[in-house]
Structure 1
């Protein structure tokens, strides 16, 4: 059915629970934390099942933070996302399974470097377009689209970050779904995997409501980036060994 054991399904739900809780608190993180863990559990869990779970989470987050939403600030990032979607779809149609693992590893490590690099770009139209394109491209291929868009929102306040980034991620996720369907990366198996893993997202989102003002995100950041880096290196090694 899903090509996963019961233990793998349980571990996948726990990874998504942690990622959804983190995103509910910080505005992003389900991809950065859960995607590397899901890849280590089984590569078939990314990108499509995680992207589908991200849609559920971003809808819930938009409903929770809708009062702080400022659509005008998000429109440029969404425009950039169109270009990212097209480029990601072309990439997925051209690469082999080995090429996918290599691309996953490289993009994960790029995401880690962006998050840890200390860059502080201004929140303006140009940077929003570039961040939107990069975020949608990375999110489609790896389900880790947070780092580029998070860079331009890192100096904004919590509710605004959670609302605006959720609005962007929701639209970008639909862009990603379109690219995944066209490139053949989203089918019946991926829908089944989504069906057995989304409970973890629901529990994580509920838990984030209890921890939103208590979780020390800055303290967890090195751990999250370390997990992502390990998975990125693992993907590169697997891809290189398959050449």
Structure 2
């Protein structure tokens, strides 16, 4: 297993059109998020990355929404150094951010820093163990998006979230196309995979909830004094005499 940190800088796509069949892919991601927007509650929603800017979140009950990425948006900021206070955000959306960042661990830790306890973190990414992962085997494809980035399996991302104390409440498949050709081709295999092997989706979505960590109880320094028994045999005879009475 390759380490998560990459010593080479990775340039993320600036918009969905830089991805193969980007408009179709954006529609699939938007359809998956539409089922979850009404379930996110709070006062502040942050959408991270350049691809998050074009995602319509009108169905979300959170009214104050801010898009942040390093080339524009509502606010400028690095994904691993957000210009936000600790525990100030109720929900955070990250579409294809981990796949195109040099330090995915740092991105998740930074999102965890700004999230309130009970807040939700939504991660969308490409799955290397999927039809889309076949492009990683081609040297020509590795020069194009999304294969020029990095893909992490959903189980690996779940492990990262578990270390930080998150509860994954849902894992949903969003697309099964290999993105090597038109998504309209080979529809029957895609439908079969959606029914039989949803874990092999090319694009997945993880919805995790930040759990409140209970405080570790502090043991008292004092201890109750025990009665000093000078003659255990005498105490035993006293107990026997009482029973005989």
- Name the TM-score, length of structure 1 as normaliser: 0.27
Structure number with greater Rg is 2
Q: Which has the higher helix share?
A: 1
- Name the TM-score, length of structure 2 as normaliser: 0.27
Q: Which has the higher strand share?
A: 2
